[in-house]
Chain A
């Protein structure tokens, strides 16, 4: 079936560096994408979202890029901090026609070294 996947299962960066987490999706009908952060023992926490009519969206220290041509999504974290260490998931949503269900990838474990 259609699914969202991630290129790298783990990513280790130095504090202060920029982090880039990638995601490939396979369902060209998806029109809403979300990045979640999940810390150990907690539920996923919304970071940023983007709709399919956009290529880029910026938040506080985070930027999401969407390339619909190659079905690729990325999350950029600027000046990565130890508190950013967590598992990051991308998720896609087909929208109202599918009853708004999120399809998650397997996640990338981000480790920030001091």
Chain B
């Protein structure tokens, strides 16, 4: 176990709805990265937060947004859900922005 936790484990939403996913980083880690993993594919980088500021973003539309809190936990928000948003959402924490990333178990999102 990495010490990175995510909630919820699974959830089901309908197209057009909004969803918030949560991540608690490993103790002492100040950087959180979010990834989307479609079935049968490798994770794709969404964005990263370092000390509560966005520190890099992948090729995802603005309806994917995030927050990092003073305790370094993080949220991923997705608005106007689309069917293709169905995936495993992973967060990873690290000590600094350039270091080994420890992954949580992921949240499985299904959009109907």
Contacts and interface: CB of A to CB of B under 8 A. Distances in A.
Interface of A: 4, 32, 34, 36, 41-46, 49, 89, 91, 93, 95-96, 98-107
Given A34-B100, A43-B90, A100 B42 contact: no
A91 B99 CA distance: 13
B42 A101 contact: no
A101 B103 contact: no
B35 to A, nearest CB: 8
Interface stretch (B13-21, B43-51, B64-72): B43-51
A106 B42 contact: yes
B33 interface: yes
Contacts of A93: 98
Given A44-B90, A107-B42, A100 B102 contact: no
B58 interface: yes
A99 B90 contact: no
Interface string B24-51: 0000000101010000111111001000
Contact of A102 (B4, B41, B43): B43
A105 B106 CA distance: 18
Nearest to A49: B100
21 contacts: A34-B101, A36-B103, A43-B2, A43-B103, A44-B43, A45-B103, A46-B100, A91-B42, A96-B97, A99-B48, A100-B33, A100-B56, A100-B97, A100-B99, A101-B56, A102-B33, A102-B45, A102-B92, A104-B35, A104-B43, A105-B42
